Amino acid sequence: MATPGRAPLPNAAPVPPTPALLLAMLQVSSHVSDLIFSPGSHPHVEVSGQLVPMKTAGVPLLSPGDTQRIAEELIGDNKQALTTLQNQGSCDISYSLPGTARFRVNIFVQRGSHAIVMRVIPKSIPSFDELKLPAELGHIADIKNGIVLVTGPTGSGKSSTLAAILDRINETKAYHILTIEDPVEFMHRHKKSIVHQRELHSDTPSFALALRAALRQAPKVILVGEMRDKETIEIALEAAETGHLVLSTLHTTDASKTVERIIGVFPLAEQQTIRNRFAKSFRYIVSQRLLPRKEGAGRVAAIEILKSTLRTREYLDKGEVEGKSLLDAMRDGDTEGMQHFDGEIEKLIRGGMIDYDTAMAYATNPGNLRLQLSDLLGEAPPSRPARAPAPAKGKQETEIELE
């Protein structure tokens, strides 16, 4: 695997073999989430959201030759990944240390040399209790069809939440479950359900092709690693409309941005049709942010939940306007299991789990959150106009379509 535009440089000092180096990096802390290799730097690990360099004996600064060698050892005989790296400048693979850890790996070219980021995948599938997920998300296992999206930035725990939801379905339903992932992360055993997991590049060339094939493979539940393009979104909508439960992720920050991203992928002439179809098909949009705890004691999740009701479907179909936004619906929908970021962040700061500066940095609307916290800050909140009362909630509005 030749480095574009640069010949490998000799090592100034030997770097330990890749498996030994990975083991040493994992031992830095029980909370290591990522391993990073970059030329001209020590290997780094991310612990509770902060990068920590490995400055131990026997681990020198990495040269371009070192990162190239590590990349080659991680890729092994995966010719498809090697071709993707050479043609596109990056590739995604999975890597295992038998009996110790599994990783989701991205290798990419920067400034003519290789860099590597490895996400640590927990050895066991996390439970709802371990992740402290809202009880409302347990109802996803009972949904018969539609789309459930888990969104958030990279490293916000989307994969773990989806794995917990899928495991709940696996334990309670006798279904055929099919996943399409890049790469396969959590390994699901057959329980009450049968689970087949397909990996991009090694098992299928694209999400869209695998998703189209899935419609002929009789699954009840389809997990798509990511909604990356127009074709994948179109097929996912078709699958949801034809009786499948589709689970997937997007790299969006909240429910409103998720809707904008999905609709915006399509040409203007098609957007209203897609908006109408998505309004009918979506069941939940779950968005996550991981916030640093006080005094660096790990991180805690703030989770936003948008649920399919008559009101949210109307707002999604007709578009959001002042006083009729998805955020308004989530604020008023706590009795239906909905919750919004700033409300959850307020609970975290009142519970002493995060500090004020962190709350403001991660809030959707810091000004409004500051008003809500004015009693803690010793300030008198300025007068605000009363918000219009929410529409009356009937039984039909609060129920998700299960059939």
pLDDT in tens, the chain (403 residues): 554 444 444 444 578 889 999 999 999 888 899 999 999 999 999 988 889 998 776 677 899 999 999 999 999 998 888 999 999 999 999 899 988 889 999 999 999 999 999 999 988 899 999 999 999 999 999 999 999 999 999 889 999 999 999 999 999 999 999 999 988 889 999 999 999 999 887 898 888 999 999 999 999 999 999 998 999 999 999 999 999 999 999 999 999 999 999 999 999 999 999 999 999 999 999 999 999 998 777 889 999 999 999 999 999 999 999 989 999 999 999 999 999 999 999 999 999 999 999 999 999 999 999 999 988 876 544 444 455 555 554 444 444 444 3
Q: CA 232, CA 212: separation in Å to the nearest integer? A: 9
pLDDT of residue 12: 47
> Do the beta carbons of residue 299 and residue 290 sit within 8 Å?
yes
pLDDT of residue 99: 83
What are the structural domains, with CATH classification, of the chain? Answer: 18-121 (3.30.450.90), 128-339 (3.40.50.300)
pLDDT of residue 228: 84
Give whole-number Cα distances, 50 to 33, 331, 345, in Å. 10, 32, 21
Residues 6+ apart with CB under 8 A from 87: none
Q: Is 30 exposed, middle or buried (0-12, 13-18, 19+ CB in 10 A)?
A: exposed
pLDDT of residue 80: 85
Per DSSP (E only), the strands in 200-268 are: 221-224, 245-250
DSSP 110-163: ETTEEEEEEEEEPSSPPPHHHHT--GGGGGGGG--SEEEEEE-STTSSHHHHHH
Give whole-number Cα distances, 270 to 266, 273, 277, 317, 401, in Å. 6, 6, 11, 13, 25
Element at 308 (helix H, strand E):
none
Terminal-to-terminal C-alpha distance of the chain: 52
pLDDT of residue 296: 72
- Paired residues of 109 in beta bridges: 114
Pair of tokens at residue 245: 């439960």
Q: CA 350, CA 346: separation in Å to the nearest integer? A: 6
Q: CA 238, CA 96: separation in Å to the nearest integer? A: 35
Instruction: Find, among 260, 359, 365, the residue nearest to 315 by Cα.
Output: 260
